[in-house]
Amino acid sequence: MAFRGGYDDGYEGFVQVPDIVKQWAHYFYRHIRERNIPEIQSMYEISFMKLSDRYYKAAPWPEVQHIQEVVDQDHEMYFRHLYARCQPTLRDRCDSWDNYLDLFGLLLTSNVNMQLPNIWLWDMVDEFLYQFQSFCQYRGKVQSMSPEEIENVKKCEAKKVWNTVEVLNILQALVDKSGIVAELEGDGGVRLSELQGYYPQSSNVLRMLGYFSLVGLLRVHCLVGDYITGLKAIYPLNLHERTHLFSPSIPGAHITLFYYGGFAYLMQRRYLDAARCFNAVLLYIYRVKAAHRSSPTFEQMLKKNEQMYALLAICLALCPVAAKSLDENVLMQLRERQSDNMAAMSRGDIDVYDTLFRDACPKFVTSTPPAYDQATTNTNQLAFRAQLNSFLQEVRSGQTLPQLKQYLLLYEGGVGSIALSRLAGLMDVEEGALRQQLLCLKNKQRQLKWEGGRDMTAGTWTVASDLEFHIDVDPQTGREMVLVSDTQQVGEGRAFSVGEGVKTEGG
């Protein structure tokens, strides 16, 4: 059987489709019609990859219309393979967008009664968002485009191809149509977790696409730098009460949920919550990675693992007390990987913060098209630099605080005190400047921490430090005094002062 790829990019030409490929397609779609989940999943995860490696290692699979006597009209896997093994053209990108519109539109408007493997449904959402990111990166490389290509990209923009708002609308429509929010509100996800999404006499397709679209909404909002909206979008999924989360069944979904959730907390200066998220997923990866060693996503799992250890190192450098919430195994792995970097960050080395952030942050995108008339500009770095600069500004604002904290620690233990003027002399700074540093340290020691509920943006202000202090006036001498008291962490980051009595300077 012959087919033609139909693209002006090296794919064209008539090629004989191997009989084994036609046979695979025939049985694959027959199992879909019969709702045979074990066979579908085996052919999807194993057979498809083997045939791809054998016959289409650097070329697209046959388009559906060329083997239509044995398959249904579904192009999703075709485009996913094309993106993985070939260099997609602008036409490919537009065609894939149209295909997703048709696919999701059909699912949203028809009575879906099929059953598909949950891993395939996650891959649909994951690939949809990967191609969205890919298009945003592609259109940013204005300087490498010909005038004709720029005009074609403009036409795509006019048709809202891979438009950020359109992508978000599709994900939200899947969430709404699936009814997943009401289901999770009802029992917290107990039934979904117990039945693994496969309810008797019911299709899992819309339900699981809705669940995975919650994760997708978090991802897209984080990619454009809207972290609060991202955490609100995953309602009612709970990152801190994980008993009935379904996502652990699908490693890619679980890692994505906690990577972007933890990163969103980090960028809001909620280091206790960020560390808690990273700890949970790093422990999860440690436990399951051996079972996924032969998976095609294993390398991506390891990459995310390293990125999250880097982000966890940043959390602990900016909020050392967060280490108290970490599992022993995670803490040991963190020390093995990041001990030198953590020591450098504790000394205020901005370059290390910069490097770790670059290596571990998401690939941010701009939600608006670039200025196509400035053909010498690559706009891909604009979104990244905006987030990097915001992060480094926060780091720099506390650059002098580690030294101040070390001086204050000399006076902890019960309640100790030191005159503000003397502390200023020891640090060789003006009293006014020291006062500002103390206020800055006080502010940075306070952060929101999640204390319960399903709103991941909610929290209670808590002292995230092993040190508490305040400034008061000595009634006898009239001098301003810095009173220092040590704190005891109760639970995970909730601080209470301990110790009674007053210890004067020197004693």
pLDDT in tens, 335-359: 999 999 999 998 889 999 999 999 9
Range from 66-75, 173-182, 185-194 carrying the lowest mean pLDDT: 66-75
Torsion angles phi and psi, residue 495, rounded to 5: -105, 140
Task: Considering only residues 401 and 179, tell me which one the structure prediction assigns the higher pLDDT.
Answer: 179
Q: State whether the Cα torsion 145-151-156-158 is positive or negative.
A: positive
Task: Considering only residues 421 and 300, tell me which one the structure prediction assigns the higher pLDDT.
Answer: 300
Question: 353-388 burial, b if ≥16 CB within 10 A, otherwise e?
Answer: beebbeebbbebbbbebbebeeeebebbeebbeebb
| pLDDT class of 72 with cuts at 50, 70, 90 | low
Q: How far is CA 382 from the centre of its chain?
A: 19
- pLDDT at residue 475, rounded to an integer: 84
Q: Is 18 exposed, middle or buried (0-12, 13-18, 19+ CB in 10 A)?
A: middle
Give the integer Cα–Cα distance in Å for 322 and 271: 7
Length of the chain equals 507
| pLDDT class of 11 with cuts at 50, 70, 90 | very low
- pLDDT at residue 477, rounded to an integer: 84
Give the integer Cα–Cα distance in Å for 188 and 378: 45
Contacts with 495 (C-beta within 8 Å, 6 or more apart), sequence order: 321, 462, 463, 464, 465, 466, 468, 487, 488, 489
Place of tokens 């191997």: 18
Using the predicted structure, report yes or no on whether residue 70 has a pLDDT greater than 50: no
204: helix, strand or coil: coil
Read off the amino acid at residue 118: N
Using the predicted structure, report yes or no on whether residue 82 has a pLDDT greater than 80: yes
Domain boundaries, the chain: 88-396, 400-497
Read off the amino acid at residue 73: Q
Question: 483-501 burial, b if ≥16 CB within 10 A, otherwise e?
Answer: bbbbbebeebbbbeeeeee
Tally of CB atoms within 10 A around 424: 19
Task: Considering only residues 307 and 187, tell me which one the structure prediction assigns the higher pLDDT.
Answer: 307
pLDDT in tens, 129-147: 999 999 999 999 988 888 8
Give the integer Cα–Cα distance in Å for 203 and 199: 7
The arithmetic mean of pLDDT across residues 61-72, rounded, is 58
pLDDT in tens, 206-215: 999 999 999 9
Give the integer Cα–Cα distance in Å for 210 and 189: 13
| pLDDT class of 67 with cuts at 50, 70, 90 | low
Give the integer Cα–Cα distance in Å for 308 and 3: 45
Q: Give me the chain's average pLDDT, please.
A: 86
The arithmetic mean of pLDDT across residues 360-387, rounded, is 87
- pLDDT at residue 66, rounded to an integer: 52
Q: Where are the alpha helices (DSSP H) in 234-327?
A: 251-267, 271-288, 298-318
- pLDDT at residue 464, rounded to an integer: 86
Using the predicted structure, report yes or no on whether residue 437 has a pLDDT greater than 90: no
102, 93 Cβ separation under 8 angstroms: no
| pLDDT class of 54 with cuts at 50, 70, 90 | confident
Using the predicted structure, report yes or no on whether residue 379 has a pLDDT greater than 60: yes
Using the predicted structure, report yes or no on whether residue 101 has a pLDDT greater than 70: yes
Quote the pTM value: 0.87
